[in-house]
Amino acid sequence: PQAMAAVSLEELIEKDTASERHIPAAVFIERVEEFIGQRKATDVLTALQELYQKYQLMQASMGQQKGALLGKLPDIVSCLSIVNHQIRQRDNNAPDQDVRFQLADQVYAKAKVPPGNAVCLWLGANVMLEYTLDEAKTLLEKNEKNANLSLASLEEDMAFLRDQITTHYREFFFFFSSTILHLANLFLHNLIQKKTHKSHRKNTNTSSRACSRWTHTQKRR
């Protein structure tokens, strides 16, 4: 017998439709029976589940990226605000500022900071570089802009991904419901056949016993 074709993920996604992050769009299966064809329903369900899990992994990864951006943005905005304040102090020839800086957890010290033209910024991985105030402002404004753009792009892709998960879940639900319906129909059909066969055998046995009793009665007469 000819081997049944396996279900590939390419059959469940649209080739020419994807987001900027190359997230494939899910194909909506309108006619389940035609899509299954001669293949096993369990194979199709397995392929659908695999694609659904891939979408969930993408969603989890994007959620982590969004959380990281949302955590960085307040720090960038805060640093930019401080740099702008320092620039105003420098341009206005302001006197020394009384500030408090943290030495350790819940330990602060007071200091006088004269207006200057330099600031140190943490770049990550225990790396700190010194910039002029204007350079720091330009860098922080660029970082804020890029973070907002990345966040907006992430939200668009996450919305697109949610649509694909919704479409995939809907078709999975319809497919699963249709398969369950087919299995239920097959079960009922098989049950009816068994009852019919059992009833036929019972009637045959009853008729045979009745014929035997009638024959025995005739012989006795």
What pLDDT is stored for residue 49 in this prediction? 80
What are the pLDDT digits (tens) for 115-132?
Answer: 889 999 988 788 999 999
Please give the torsion angle defined by the CA atoms of residues 31, 36, 38 and 43, in that order, rounded to the nearest 10 degrees: -170
Highest mean pLDDT among 33-47, 124-138, 173-187: 124-138
185 Cβ contact list (under 8 Å, min separation 6): none
What pLDDT is stored for residue 139 in this prediction? 95
Question: How is 161-190 classified by DSSP, letter by letter?
Answer: HHHHHHHHHHHHHHHHHHHHHHHHHHHHHH
186 Cβ contact list (under 8 Å, min separation 6): none
Confidence band for 31, pLDDT divided at 50, 70 and 90: confident
| Token pair belonging to 121 | 């910024």
What pLDDT is stored for residue 47 in this prediction? 81
CB atoms within 10 A of CB 210: 10
- pLDDT at position 190 over 80: no
* Higher-confidence position of 219 and 166: 166
C-alpha 2/C-alpha 213 separation (Å) is 55
What pLDDT is stored for residue 3 in this prediction? 47
C-alpha 24/C-alpha 161 separation (Å) is 9
Mean pLDDT of 166-179: 60
What pLDDT is stored for residue 20 in this prediction? 62
**Cβ distance 143 to 2 under 8 Å?**
no
- For the chain, first and last CA: distance in Å? 63
- pLDDT at position 178 over 60: no
Mean pLDDT, rounded, of the chain: 78
What pLDDT is stored for residue 1 in this prediction? 42
C-alpha 121/C-alpha 178 separation (Å) is 60
Strand partners, 127: 124
What pLDDT is stored for residue 2 in this prediction? 40
